[in-house]
């Protein structure tokens, strides 16, 4: 039985477009660095240390970027509704007693008047 497969020749010279995953480039912010865009979705994946939450954003130019979650970012993003324009800045990295890794502290700005979810509502844990 022959499978239905289209080739470029079958499309009569029509223009082709690359299909991407729909997720943006993974972005690791440095202290003081800031990215802005519309919050598209959060999704769960696998990171180096187990389950990891990722946050997908679309910039004003239509480009996508993805930020990996962290303790502070997860708690703050849980309050922001999808579709909200956000500015996310890695404000600092603080030493935490008893841990080797520093905790990332984020500052997230949204337009004034944005209705945020209640604390704990939709929290990832």
Determine contact, residues 57/68, Cβ cutoff 8 Å.
no
What is the total residue count of the chain? 125
For the whole model, what pTM was predicted? 0.76
Determine contact, residues 65/73, Cβ cutoff 8 Å.
no
**Domain layout of the chain by residue ranges:** 23-109
Per-residue pLDDT tens for 11-55?
Answer: 555 665 555 556 678 899 999 999 999 999 999 988 777 889 999
Instruction: At 90, list the tokens.
Output: 């890695």
First to last CA, the chain: 50
Q: Name the class of domain 23-109.
A: mainly beta
């Amino acid at each position: 039985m022959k499978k239905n497969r289209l080739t470029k020749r079958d499309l009569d010279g029509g223009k082709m477009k690359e299909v991407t995953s729909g997720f943006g480039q993974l972005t690791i912010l440095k202290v003081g660095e800031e990215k802005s865009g519309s919050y598209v979705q959060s999704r769960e994946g696998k990171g180096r240390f187990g389950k990891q939450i990722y946050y997908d954003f679309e910039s004003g130019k239509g480009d996508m970027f993805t930020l990996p979650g962290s303790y502070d970012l997860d708690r703050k993003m849980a309050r922001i509704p999808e579709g909200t324009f956000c500015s996310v800045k890695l404000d600092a990295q603080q030493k935490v007693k008893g841990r080797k890794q520093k905790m990332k502290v984020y500052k997230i700005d949204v337009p004034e008047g944005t209705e945020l979810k209640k604390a704990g509502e939709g929290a990832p844990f």
